[in-house]
Amino acid sequence: MKKSRDSGAKEEEDRALWDYVTRGIKAYDTGKPKSPPQKPAIRKETAPARIKPLSPCNAPIPKGFDRSTETKLRRGQLPLEGRIDLHGMTQTEAYDALHKFIHAAVAQEKRTLLVITGKGRRFEGVLRQMVPQWLEAPPLARYLLAVTPAQPKDGGTGAFYLRLRKLKQ
C-alpha cells in the first residue's frame, strides 16, 4: 500500500495527541513490594505405555452404523442402554473408566452405548481424539460392531455412539 504525503504528518499528530492524553497517567502503586509473576502450575501426567501419544490429526473412527440402525437411533427407536461421561478426567482415568464401562456393558449384554468425551478447546480435546484410538485397538475393538459421532441432542461432536457385538455363548 502506498503512503500519501500527509501520512507522516498524520502519524506525528496522532503521536502528539497520544502523548498529551497519557502524560498524567502513572502506574498504580499498591504499596506492596513487587514480586515477579508466578508461572501457573502445570499438572504433569505420565501416560501409561498402553496409551498412544496424541497425534495432530483426528483419529479414524472404526466403522459407522448401518443405515437402518442409524435411522432408528436418530428417531429415538433404539434406546441408549448405557452412558459414560469422561469430562474432567485425565487420559489414564478416562482409559480405565472406558474399559470398565465397556466390560460391564458386555457382561450385561447391552448393545447401544453413549460415550461423552466433550469437545475440548477449539474442538481439539485430548479425550475426543484419544477415545476413537482406544476403541479401535485391542482389547476393546473385539467388542465393537460400530462407532459413530452422536446426534446433537446427545452431545454432537463431543460424544460417540457405540454398538456392541452380540457375543456368542
CATH number of the domain enclosing 73: 3.30.1370.110
Domain-embedded: residue 110: yes
In the chain, how many domains are there? 1
**Does 68 score more than 60 pLDDT?**
yes
Domain-embedded: residue 128: yes
Domain-embedded: residue 30: no
The whole-number pLDDT of residue 95 equals 95
In the Cβ-directed half-sphere of 8, how many Cα atoms lie within 13 Å? 1
pTM over 0.85: no
**Position of cell 473408566?**
97
CA dist., res. 114 & res. 161, Å (int): 5
Domain-embedded: residue 169: no
Domain-embedded: residue 9: no
Domain-embedded: residue 134: yes
What order do you get walking across the sheet with 144-149 strand by strand? 82-85, 112-116, 159-164, 144-149
**How would residue 27 be classed by pLDDT, with cut points 50, 70 and 90?**
low
Domain range for 107 is 67-164
CA dist., res. 11 & res. 15, Å (int): 6
Domain-embedded: residue 131: yes
**Does 25 score more than 50 pLDDT?**
yes
Strand ranges inside the chain, DSSP E? 82-85, 112-116, 144-149, 159-164
Domain-embedded: residue 40: no
**How would residue 156 be classed by pLDDT, with cut points 50, 70 and 90?**
confident
Comparing 117 with 4, which gets the higher pLDDT? 117
